[in-house]
Structure 1
């Protein structure tokens, strides 16, 4: 195994500047982006070595992996004195939901219909909190304590969320549509306030300012630096996307920067993919030996149609 411990070059310092990288979140990014599509279990030592590129200590990574395992993200396999971590069934489901959002660069045309969820007021508080966390990640907006809305929900993900929470019998799923004879301005105002679009807009502008200069550097990056840049790109894109409701163009302000950010992420990801995959295969040890070559689940991300 090659040593990945060489720090990134000064030319990439701007990508990291000002970012607060938490070990738990970064580990989830690496697994979701690179490990999950291969369905393999990775040696903890490999993960620690790679995390050093981002300034994370071995202690922080161990603590993070142990906590994520306790939270049912990972299953552990021990081979001799080595521990290998792979996604648990619940972890796989969480990653699949995120994957459908992160890599759907081509948005569908909106048909004007909304998916509305009405939660049973007698629902347990613990179930309500779990559902709220998952629904907000899926870009549902919370209109009131027991009502959530989404303009183009992924119903496969929604069914899986309700099933995982055991809430199918306590959530009504409806469709709604605006009537043409009534003004649309109240709806646009409601969406702007509900989803805090001003803060999301500022986050996308910061994302563009951080990563746009990377395009001129990609051809000069070696495998290690390409992996570093790809991981920070997806990590930060994922962080902002968590706050973006992914509203249809008809409900967004003009020249919405989220569209430019999505296009930038897709373009950079496609350019960074090959060299970063070379780094991954050289630096991750699994229970099967080397990491598998780039699977179609990764290479097809850039061409996958919405909702698949």
Structure 2
């Protein structure tokens, strides 16, 4: 355990980067697990989670409540050793964060082939299955064109297949490929995508992300390991929040000077500078059911070799 509370180890110049953000306990825990714990597949002591969440304004009571709720929602699994509780990701939770991982740490946009993937839900599908699929597809940044039709230009088909299998919906969903015809203009499609994916709000969110984190570049050389963890978590938490609303539309369908491109470059630069210090901090601090936290696994180090 740290000799001092983590919050006390964060200097005011770094702590101010969180100013104005409402950070919910469930979401912060998912960020920490998705970014740092999932690649290790370990279960972390609840006391450590309480300490890690403290500088984000989250009380021990809220961490305990969130850990319980995330377990009930099949995100976490819980275990006990003596009087200590430990939490790890469930199989479904691991699948969810891995789907997000493929987007969050892929800092280069794929080349668009001009095709769209359309997902059509069977009209007679029971309501619970429909709601589950809608939630998972929106999490994958599909746009909802109508109540039973979803579209995406850069779909990860492995993730889509896993979603359908997990929902036992393979025989209740049609997956189609569509392409614009050259004889027709793109303006109606641009307008449709702008409305479907609420691009104005996404653009504003990316601008806010850049404004908040651009000053952090000048701090990289002077951060402590605790501050590197804090800033890494804050960075990925906010980046994920905006990215999972951004459909990664092709350049031809985006407004001019789209800030999402600058935000990707900024996130990659900061993450690269924060990784070593934050990893050492986590390895020094966290206790798992297996003992110390595993040293930086290849799944994490590979994130910065994809660019």
Aligned positions of 1:49-64 closer than 5 A: 49-64=51-66
- The answer to whether structure 1 residue 8 and structure 2 residue 1 are counterparts is no
Distance (Å, rounded) in 1 between the aligned partners of 2:9 and 2:30:
21
**What's the CA shift for 1:54?**
1.8
For residues 1-308 of structure 1, what are the structure 2 equivalents within 5 Å?
1-3=1-3, 4-5=5-6, 6-304=8-306
TM-score, with length taken from structure 1:
0.97
> Distance in 2 between the 1:108 and 1:238 partners?
18
Name the SS for the 1:168 alignment partner.
Answer: coil
Secondary structure at the residue paired with 1:169?
A: coil
1:25 to partner: Cα distance: 0.4
1:288 Cα deviation after fit? 1.2
Q: Deviations over 1:123-176 (max 9, x none)?
A: 111111111111111111111111111112100000001111111111100101
Contact kept, 8 Å, 1:50 with 1:283, in 2: the verdict is no
Shift of 1:116: 0.7
Distance 1:7 1:142 in 2: 44
Deviation at 1:83, TM superposition (A): 1.1
Question: CA RMSD of the aligned region, Å?
Answer: 1.0
The one-character-per-residue Cα deviations of 1:14-72 (angstroms, maximum 9, x if unpaired) are: 31111001110000000000001011110111111121122211111000100000101
Unaligned runs of 5+ in 1: none
The answer to whether the 8 Å contact 2:153/2:247 transfers is: no
Moved over 6 A (4+): none
**Alignment partners' CA distance in 2, 1:75 and 1:69:** 6
| Partner Cα distance (1:194, 1:220) in 2 | 43
2: CA distance between counterparts of 1:142 and 1:192? 12
For residue 171 of structure 2, give the secondary structure of its aligned residue in structure 1.
helix
TM-score (norm 2): 0.97
Aligned length: 305
| Superimposed CA distance per residue, residues 253-306 of structure 1 (whole angstroms, 9 cap, x where no aligned partner) | 11100000011001100000000011101111001111011111001112237x
In 2, Cα distance between the equivalents of 1:53 and 1:283?
A: 15
